[in-house]
Structure 1
């Protein structure tokens, strides 16, 4: 009998594999999403027809802040009248939309919980290895908390779903990703989220895709910043951080950060006593803050830790001690692209459902210019170049000086026209 007992104990411990432990550590942070969505009707004879058919929608989400903030896919919550969220503990809530971005297919929703929710461990995707084991968790076909396993089959995949949706730089995996898995985590063997499951190749088995977590959390930070409703700090962070702390890549001219003395190259480790390792942590620390509020930063500058107090301000309001951006950047945009630009006061920028926080109004397009050849029109709003937003002349000046822009033959641009966000490509260097 004694021998049998020890054999059972050994077997039980063996069954607690790395995958079992990874799932156990993550599943309480994974939520199931349900709701009815309306699929718009359109026909060739009447493409502008209204109405649509009502279908059951389902997906998955991941808790990124204990106060009830959840990241998921945009297509999971798009056109959903009531977003119903089920937690792993059986509690159910109705969520509200915070912000969404159809181009990266990501969204942030929030549930009104009174209890702190467990956070998932967030890993890194830039060091993923082809062949390493991964686990997908999600609401597959409505079966909540379904777990599948596989490996990283490939990296940096481009997937075109339809004429409106194209994904870039995806993780490919053979872990089963079924309808309903979208928005759920792809975990590594340590139980860290390294991707957001997003798509499955229809008609092919063992081919699924996920948005790399580095990119997903960068977008999630931008979406979460909308909770601050125009309140800004002026710290532009790097897309990747080190093992500890968040790099301040750039400080916007005239911003609260510039006035407070935060410098490019500083590594932010604490904000309001909350540890910061990525841009999402910075935005989480600022949830619920208002203009005029004092925020405490702890930064590392050349090996020395410096406490800094920063006073938040309304976006676009220049503070004392700031330098005005040289208007030469607008001359450069005119000579290079053929666009005459002016800044838009933040209170007059009509964002609608766009992810962008501001833009530069295009008042004139020179005939025969690169902008004209791309179909840019007077009245369009320039909201982005390459991977950066262009909410101000300062933003544009920064982007135009970047090696990644100057070294390319063309640079991708984004404009808003009415309710649409459009894009094209402009030459990055002056044609001779």
Structure 2
């Protein structure tokens, strides 16, 4: 049944009539006819929205100020380190803006050349030079930080050698740390030796060793200061379009006087390439760089990593394995089987002997890089090595349980090979 109430209301309607309030049924309030006041213990929706908006604004303001201070404090700190009086003379390095870097890399959405604990390397295009470049964007979470960024810029920008990767410029802006290098078309040595990118012929391999030795000789002997690289390894050796080798990544490098050529510092480097005295004392030297060079030489000859956890304990360490072959007069047996015996036996023996000479556990019995070059060029006789692998009191055994992982910096700046 339909309700008749609407009809009755219409019949009783008079102009100016107001129905009584449902709350009390009495006449409307004399204070203006509005609704009764709410309890003072409750906050209106409008007031609550205002409080939330104010708190949000204050939070964003604090975060913005903190971000601004951090970014510009970082920029000032880097500028002080890079362009202090000690390094102003001779600095010839281009400074890019973040906008320019973004244009080079399609706003960091372009092709990635590599990625690791340090950050990401992008392929970029430098329009004014009409050339492609490698743009290394250091991760804000990276342990490398300001010190390593500044070290790379200071050292490599002052170095000019055909076997060093050329640093074109840098950018430190709004908290970003970015390095721009010449593009090395064939990537890193380790991608060819261990990842099957390309099978390097023996001629190319022997030339790579000679290029690396030339770069190290320049760093140790030919500059105004001796440069200790401290992280010579296959992944830091880059190959150009003609497979010429160039040493890169100077984040851990240090300048020392030629007279001293020794630095006591925190332990830094990569497991498998670290000289035993570095592990025990933290002292870096020319001899510790030569040790790392020797490990790379053995890797190039044998086609396997310095540490291989998948092998049984007696063969996990490349150095120990090659020494064992030398002791048993089967040195050429360790040659990379992927070469299918297509190598110069005399050069292979020379490279393996020089490699073992360079990784001697006693640092003072290792050759200088000059002596190693003379043997590699057959300008000096092969070294006389002990019949059995020598040991030292501080010789540290590589733990076979070490697992392979992506390179990353720890608090001690040690990396584990992949």
TM-score, normalised by the number of residues in structure 1:
0.24
Looking at secondary structure, tell me which structure has more strand per residue: 1
Question: Which fold has the larger relative contact order, with Cα–Cα distance below 8 Å and residues 6 or more apart in sequence?
Answer: 2
Choose 1 or 2 for highest CA Rg.
2
Determine which structure has the larger helix proportion and give its number: 2
Return the TM-score normalized by structure 2.
0.24
